[in-house]
Amino acid sequence: MKRTNELIVAIAVLAVISVITWGVFAVGDNMPRGVTTYAQDVYQLHNIVLGIVTVIGVLVFTAMFTSIVLHRRSKGFQAAKFSHSTRAEIIWTAIPVVILVVMAVPATRVLIDMENTAGAEMNIKITGYQWLWKYEYIEDDISFFSALDRDSNRARQLGSGINPRDVENYLLEVDNRLIVPVDTRIRFLLTADDVIHSWWVPELGWKRDAIPGMINEAWTLIEEEGVYRGQCAELCGADHGFMPIVVEAVSREAYAEWVAGQRQELADAAHDAARLWTREELMDHGSRIYQAQCASCHQDDGRGIEPAFPALVREGVPTGDLEHHLQTVLNGREGTAMTGFRDRLQPQDIAAAMTFARNAWTDEEGEVIQPSTIADLDQG
């Protein structure tokens, strides 16, 4: 009777511990539930597998601790003398096989669904760069770059004097969000321009590598409006930790309005490239472009990070030969980390950033570069 009571207590204690453990993971510290149909499937599959392994853990540890407590030598028990049992071997082989089959069926279904990108209502191409993303809406003929937002970029630099805790969504905010409509099946085409990146937003339920020279596919269908944040999940270089992703899901009506606004901005950009800008306009716009595109390497104050990223204020670029500066910004510099921005920025963005760089850190009045100058070079 005493032995039976000890066994019951041991099983009860282990069962309670197992239930609490499962509850903590399933409810408190579990993976995010997600906001897509696929993410929901992954979440449910995860909980099913977690429940199965929890039951296995209860049985195994109950048997183990029961044997330790009740069958120890101090109570007079002797180890059994046998070396083989065909029935036992069949049982402990067959049961795990059945368990694996039970888990494999739903897992296979989810994996097949994950790879099926057919039936997409819209397509978005994602290209990874060091260290920002480019988004291209294939059907709507819209494209833009998305980089770390200005406040986070300033706060993360050494000696900035800014407390990162005071910056909202520090390192998880961007200057241009990826806007998508809800209840729309979207196919993503992922690649990279330089090194391997990985596009990951946990609430979408998947991540995909962006590899130069290759196109990977993925899909999503977001059911809830909201803002969902992620980041590059591949070690892609010195500023890997400053490459966030922000997806904003909006209603179909709001998305249509956003598309119309983007097209208007493109028309305005074409007009801006043709007009003459004032120095103040170029400096103001150039400051924003510099922060988004250049400060990650050359720093907020142009001092750079030697030897990989030279200091602009000591390399002769801001007050040096204008033609050399133009060619470096447009085409990059071979053998260095400097990449060309000819295909990455609008003429007015390049002109403004160069004007800012040639005037921001010197007491002398440097050149003013007009967008028309950059446009003429592109056409040439």
Quickly list DSSP for 58-76.
HHHHHHHHHHHHHS-GGGT
Higher per-residue confidence, 198 vs 354 = 198
Lowest pLDDT segment from 6-10, 65-69, 280-284, 299-303: 6-10
Does residue 27 have a pLDDT over 70? Answer: no
- State how many domains the chain has: 3
Q: What is the CATH number of the domain that holds 306?
A: 1.10.760.10
State the pLDDT at residue 11.
64
The verdict on residue 350 lying in a domain is yes
The reply to whether 133 and 232 lie within a common domain is yes
Output the CA torsion sign for 69, 74, 79, 80. negative
The reply to whether 134 and 223 lie within a common domain is yes
State the average pLDDT for the chain: 83
The verdict on residue 359 lying in a domain is yes
Residue 127 CA, distance from chain mean position: 12
The reply to whether 127 and 63 lie within a common domain is no
Q: What does R_g of the chain's alpha carbons equal in angstroms?
A: 29
The confidence band for 252, taking pLDDT boundaries of 50, 70 and 90, is very high
The reply to whether 130 and 233 lie within a common domain is yes
The verdict on residue 233 lying in a domain is yes
Using alpha carbons, select from 221, 4, 228, 226 the residue that is nearest to residue 113: 221
| pLDDT, tens digit (0-9, with 9 covering 90-100), for 195-206 | 999 999 999 988
Say if residue 92 is preceded by a cis peptide, omega within 30 of 0: no
The reply to whether 280 and 209 lie within a common domain is no
The verdict on residue 285 lying in a domain is yes
Three-state SS for 180? strand
The reply to whether 149 and 96 lie within a common domain is no
Instruction: Locate 210 and state its tokens.
Output: 């962006």
What pTM did the predictor assign?
0.74
Distance CA 65, CA 102 (A): 28
State the pLDDT at residue 318.
59
Higher per-residue confidence, 103 vs 363 = 103
| Domain span including residue 49 | 2-73+85-115
The reply to whether 52 and 67 lie within a common domain is yes
The verdict on residue 104 lying in a domain is yes
Q: What is the CATH number of the domain that holds 214?
A: 2.60.40.420
The verdict on residue 353 lying in a domain is yes
Lowest pLDDT segment from 7-21, 121-135, 253-267: 7-21
Q: Give the end of a domain, one of 188, 218, 252.
A: 252
The verdict on residue 66 lying in a domain is yes
| pLDDT, tens digit (0-9, with 9 covering 90-100), for 140-193 | 989 888 989 888 888 887 777 889 898 999 999 998 999 999 999 999 999 998
The verdict on residue 38 lying in a domain is yes
